[in-house]
Amino acid sequence: MIVCKAFLKVIRKNIGMIIIYTVIFLVFSVANSRTGETQTTFVSEKPSVCLVTEDDSLLSDCLCRYIGEHMEIVDLPEQDRADALFYKEICSIIRIPKHYGRNVCSGEQTAVGIQTSVDYKAEFVKLMLERFGRVQNIYVKTTDSEQELVNAIESALESSVKVEVASALDEKALTAASDFYNFAAYSMMACIVFIICLVLSSFNEIMIRKRTLVSSMPYGKYSTLLMLSSCLYAMAVWAVLVLLSFCIVPDGMKTDRGIWYVMNGCLYMLVSLTLAYLLSTVLKGKNAITGIVNVITLGCSFLCGVFVPADYLPDSVMAVARVLPTYWYVQTNELLKTTETLDKTTVLPILIHFAVLSGFCVLFYAAGMMISRHNRRIA
């Protein structure tokens, strides 16, 4: 009991660090959380664009209406447009030149101008404008007036296609839950590994250890108590994160995957705990701990799809990331997001990932025990 009490008192001294990591995590989770109703029908995405028109003709009005139907028009002053494009507030700036309507009707060369980024939304905007242009170019030869042309274009572009959503998954809710738990990997690992390493390093300080070794408490019992105290702290961190998940991404957590996210988080917590134990036997001094733990937690997070979606990481990086436990944790979250139904077949890969994470736990703990035993002999 006295060992546990001492452990908790030392943790309390580092409460500032725990709060900082939790606040960072909360800010990110809230900023990135997506809310919205479950969608069982298809809803077309409407990218945001800035529309600048220098023409006042019927044709340009028709084009503006068409753009408004398929895109979200954002009104921005000139000086803010370039930044808005860079930061992806808008995906395109569309410019309708002067005398556009008159030039089209008289057969002169003219075209809508576009400034875009290079992603899918920008490509969609380009496609839609080209589609309008094609229909306009087809009908300009067969109509006699601008009004006729506008009528023909609008009639042709009314055409719509039925889109069915095959999946019953609440994609947005599950994406939010996956993103939450993915980012939680960084916070959880940082909170657990950093704090436990700091606390255990205080207990492992040479003079303290010597005092412990000569005391009447068996060293095995002492070690076990320290491990249990660390476990208690790690479970508290995990519990807080789970609680936050139910507050911030409740829709995803209420599905049948909710319990799987929680279990995955629990396993990752155990991995972090055993990693902290291993590192505490190796690292000496607060500076070394701060440096190495930061490199490990940030490295795991960057390389395994925590900060950058796994889909965007190069194959070479993903190949290297397989040796890190965070990779298996993130992959489980991705599976939970995309798997249509959870049955015996589809759950098997998840269970394999759980087994791999358990293997990491055993590996870290065994390595930590060996090093600890070796250190005791030297002391």
Q: Does 372 bind other proteins (CB under 8 A)?
A: no
Helix, strand or coil for residue 269? Answer: helix
The CB density around residue 53, as the number of other CB atoms within 10 Å, is: 18
Residues 6+ apart with CB under 8 A from 140: 104, 105, 107, 149
The conformational region for residue 109 under phi > 0 = left, psi -120 to 50 = alpha, else beta, is beta
| Residue nearer to other proteins on the CB measure, 231 or 347 | 347
**Which DSSP symbol is given to 97?**
P
Q: How far is CA 327 from CA 125, 239, 258, 264, 322, in A?
A: 36, 22, 20, 12, 6
Query: Amino acid identity, residue 229?
Result: S
Binds other proteins (CB under 8 A): choice among 62, 93, 105, 269: 93
Task: State the binding string over 319-338 for other proteins (x if CB under 8 A, else -).
Answer: -------------------x
Q: Does 73 bind other proteins (CB under 8 A)?
A: no
Beta strands 92-96 and 113-116, pairing class: antiparallel
Residues 6+ apart with CB under 8 A from 331: 305, 310, 353
Residues 155-194 that bind other proteins (CB under 8 A): 156-157, 159-167, 169, 171
Closest distance between other proteins and the C-beta of residue 358, in Å?
27
Binds other proteins (CB under 8 A): choice among 3, 11, 29, 47: 47
Nearest to 48 by CA among 93, 94, 81, 91: 91
Binds other proteins (CB under 8 A): choice among 127, 206, 232, 259: 127
Task: State the binding string over 12-41 for other proteins (x if CB under 8 A, else -).
Answer: ----x---x---x---x--xx------x--
| Residue nearer to other proteins on the CB measure, 249 or 270 | 249
Binds other proteins (CB under 8 A): choice among 317, 324, 363, 367: 317
| Residue nearer to other proteins on the CB measure, 73 or 266 | 73
Residues 295-314 that bind other proteins (CB under 8 A): 295, 298-299, 302-303, 307-308, 311-314
Distance CA 318, CA 311 (A): 9
Residues 249-288 that bind other proteins (CB under 8 A): 287
| Residue nearer to other proteins on the CB measure, 164 or 256 | 164
Q: Does 138 bind other proteins (CB under 8 A)?
A: yes
| Residue nearer to other proteins on the CB measure, 3 or 62 | 62
Residues 6+ apart with CB under 8 A from 197: 276, 279, 280, 283, 289, 293
Q: Could you tell me how many residues of this chain bind other proteins (CB under 8 A)?
A: 79
| Residue nearer to other proteins on the CB measure, 14 or 212 | 14
Residues 53-72 that bind other proteins (CB under 8 A): 70
Nearest to 87 by CA among 126, 114, 119: 119
Residue 135 structure tokens: 């229909």
Binds other proteins (CB under 8 A): choice among 4, 8, 30, 82: 82
Residues 95-124 that bind other proteins (CB under 8 A): 95, 111-124
On whether the CB atoms of residues 189 and 298 are closer than 8 A, the answer is no
Residues 209-248 that bind other proteins (CB under 8 A): none
* Binding segment toward other proteins, per CB under 8 A, in 83-91, 201-209, 221-229, 243-251: 83-91
Distance CA 266, CA 41 (A): 35
The conformational region for residue 120 under phi > 0 = left, psi -120 to 50 = alpha, else beta, is alpha
Closest distance between other proteins and the C-beta of residue 32, in Å?
8
| Residue nearer to other proteins on the CB measure, 139 or 219 | 139
Closest distance between other proteins and the C-beta of residue 260, in Å?
19
Closest distance between other proteins and the C-beta of residue 137, in Å?
5
The angle subtended at Cα 329 by Cα 268 and Cα 355, nearest 5°, is 75
| Residue nearer to other proteins on the CB measure, 157 or 361 | 157
